Chains A and B, each alone.
Chain A
């Protein structure tokens, strides 16, 4: 986790460094959360495989986990877009030839 002491201890690194650190921390926490959700999904499959829960139970709980996962992934991808692209990250695909070769490395 990012601790205030880390920031205070590096007074000359500037704002960009701080923002980068915050972004890294947030990223690490989000990725940790994603791993936890994936682990829960894995457990869920195991419970289904061993007959501890019904298919219906599985479907219900699966939906909850998948929604959580989607939220985490959206947050992770949003962050990456801001860090690397100069403009909006492109969400849609397949809009034809004009897309090809359109992105330039920053």
Chain B
């Protein structure tokens, strides 16, 4: 059975899990806007789609290539 584990305790105390929320999510204000908050708009943000890069493709190809040297059970 999979290992099921809670990170950071009941009040979410650890920082590991919350750091990407704090740094990247929530209300974001463009840096230069902070000085003059008049005449600006607030927009909802759609989730960003992550684009794979050529480096990723090459890395995946190599990683799978390496499995060729290990014994592989034939797929069912």
Contact = CB atoms under 8 A, between A and B. Distances in A.
Are chains A and B touching directly in their complex (CB below 8 angstroms)? yes
Contacts of B38: 100-101, 103
B63 to A, nearest CB: 17
A80 B32 contact: yes
B32 A77 contact: yes
A62 to B, nearest CB: 11
Contacts of B67: none
A46 B31 contact: no
Contacts of B36: 90, 99-103
The prevalent SS among residues of A at the interface is helix
B27 interface: no
A1 interface: yes
Interface of A: 1, 28-29, 31-32, 34-35, 38-39, 41-43, 45-46, 49, 77, 80-81, 84-85, 89-93, 99-105
Interface of B: 7-8, 14-17, 19-20, 23-24, 30-32, 34-36, 38-40, 48, 50-51, 53-54
